[in-house]
Amino acid sequence: MNKNYLLIILLFVYCVGFSQYKVINVKEPLEKYPKEAGFFYSLPKNFITLHITVKKINKYKGPFSDYAENMLGVNGIQENQNFYTISNIDVVLGYQADVSETYYVNYPKKTKDPLYYQFIKNGLLLNNTANSTQQELSCLQIDFGTPNTKEQSMFDMYANYGMYEKIDTIYESQLIDSIYVQVPIIRRTMAVKTTEEKANETLEEIKNIREAQRLLLTGEHEVDYSKLEYMIACLKEQEESYLSLFTGFTLSEDIRYTYYYPLPEKSDTVHLPLFSFTINNGIDKTLQNEADIYSLQLINTHTTDPIQTFKENVGKQHPKQSETGFRYRIPEIYTFNLLRNNITVNTIGELPINQYGIINTLPQNVISFEIDPHTGNVLNTKFK
């Protein structure tokens, strides 16, 4: 009986200690300010983080493209060009402190309740910059992939065909033992090949490679057949390299963008312009008239309307009821749609927006609760 009685006393002291917390909205004017120590905290609000992956396609004309149809019967790329396609868009909610909803918590000096450390751990204190989850708004990050060296290697190979050694034999008359003798002299010079000559030599190389493949496949060469697949693959790769001099080649690389967008004031339908896009120029953060304009449409589902109505009716019936407890937010659910030129191209889904929701107060009979580190919402509440 004594142990149970002691437990009841300790629980009562703990509840009283918690109930002595007083939460003050710093926007409200006060006649008398508290003398006790305390700390500031703010409710969270959202911003939109946009992750975009754009695929850049690079087409390069081969140096022998003018001879591709006549010599090989294929159509090569006739001019260098780049174009872009959007391969992926991710919409993520970011969280930061809403300084417009800042509160001062007045707590007794002797209390040992760990609530203060909840705010420290979850980054809700305004002076807790070390653990803050805030991110810089209107920041652009671009991550370019590793450049492909295929273009350089193609032109290196093309340069090897640029010149050849020309050997000419000329005869000079020289007087030897009173007799003029025609002495042959070999003259070596470097001559520049014409484009057609280089194309013909490349064509001969392609024919030789294909002939080597045929000999391997028909068994006319005595080889280690356990390595036949590897040898064929090497010949195919070499053949493709020579063919690219006629047909040209296409490379692609992924470019990743990250944009941050603050949310405007609450309304039933929120329209948030994102970026403009063209096939020739890719993404532009500024909105261009000649481009496709991408935007987000947020539609209110009104899930918090019954809660707001209930709060207003309680306030009318109990106008003198004081709200001095901890404030927290009940977020509003919005449906997210991705638009292109104001036409819906994809429905992303439903996401909770903190600043579009309503602010509620924890009752005085709450003895403990936890704070969600990502949203600031109240979890695991315990009552007296």
pLDDT tens column, 305-314: 998 888 888 8
Looking at every residue in the chain, the average pLDDT score rounds to 75
- The model's pLDDT over 96-130, given as tens digits with 9 standing for 90+, comes to 888 888 888 876 565 555 566 566 555 555 544 33
Does residue 176 belong to any structural domain of this protein?
A: no
Q: Residue 153: inside a domain, yes or no?
A: no
Residue 264: per-residue pLDDT: 93
Angle at 65 between CA 59 and CA 67, to 5 degrees: 165
In angstroms, the CA 317 to CA 27 distance is 25
Q: Identify whether 125 is part of a domain.
A: yes
Q: Considering its fold, how many domains does the chain have in total?
A: 1
Domain containing residue 107: 2-148+252-383
Maximum alpha-carbon separation in the chain = 144
Of the CA atoms within 13 Å of residue 164, those in its CB half-sphere come to: 11
Judge whether 193 lies within some domain: no
3-state secondary structure of 164: strand
DSSP 295: E
Residue 302, burial from CB neighbour count under 10 angstroms (0-12, 13-18, 19+): exposed
| pTM, to two decimals | 0.67
Quick one: the chain helix, strand, coil %, rounded to 5? 25, 45, 30
Element (H, E) at 297: strand 292-300
**Each residue of 40-68: pLDDT tens digit?**
888 888 999 999 999 999 888 888 888 88
Question: Element (H or E) spanning 332, and its range?
Answer: strand 327-340
- Flag whether 247 is in a domain: no
Q: Compute the distance between CA of residue 229 and CA of residue 238 in angstroms, rounded to an integer.
A: 14
Contact between 15 and 367 (Cβ < 8 Å): yes
Residue 88 falls inside a structural domain: yes
Question: In this structure, which amino acid lies at residue 204?
Answer: E
Q: Which residue has the higher pLDDT, 1 or 276?
A: 276
Return the minimum-mean-pLDDT range out of 154-158, 176-180, 337-341: 154-158
- Please tell me the predicted confidence (pLDDT) of residue 299: 95
Residue 134 has pLDDT above 60, yes or no: no
Q: What's the pLDDT tens digit per position in 207-259?
A: 888 888 888 888 776 667 777 888 888 888 888 888 888 888 888 888 889 99
For tokens 């090497």, the residue is 234
Strand partners, 46: 95
- Please report, as a single letter, which amino acid is at residue 142: I
Task: Give the Cα separation of 293 and 272 in Å (integer).
Answer: 11
First to last CA, the chain: 21
Give the per-residue pLDDT at 201.
Answer: 83
Question: In the chain, which residue ranges form alpha helices assigned H by DSSP?
Answer: 2-19, 68-72, 115-121, 150-160, 195-218, 228-247, 305-317
* DSSP element (H, E) containing 104: strand 81-106
**Is residue 172 a part of any domain in this protein?**
no
Q: Are strands 343-361 and 327-340 parallel, antiparallel or unpaired?
A: antiparallel
Backbone angles phi, psi at 135, to 5 degrees: -130, 150
What is residue 246's predicted lDDT score, i.e. its pLDDT? Answer: 86
Which pair of structure tokens corresponds to residue 269?
């339908």
Q: Is the CB of residue 301 less than 8 Å from the CB of residue 307?
A: no
By C-alpha distance, which of 257, 341, 254 is closest to 49?
Answer: 257
Q: Is the dihedral of CA 334, 336, 341, 343 positive or negative?
A: negative
* Residue 288 forms part of a structural domain: yes
Q: How confident is residue 183, by pLDDT bands cut at 50, 70 and 90? A: low
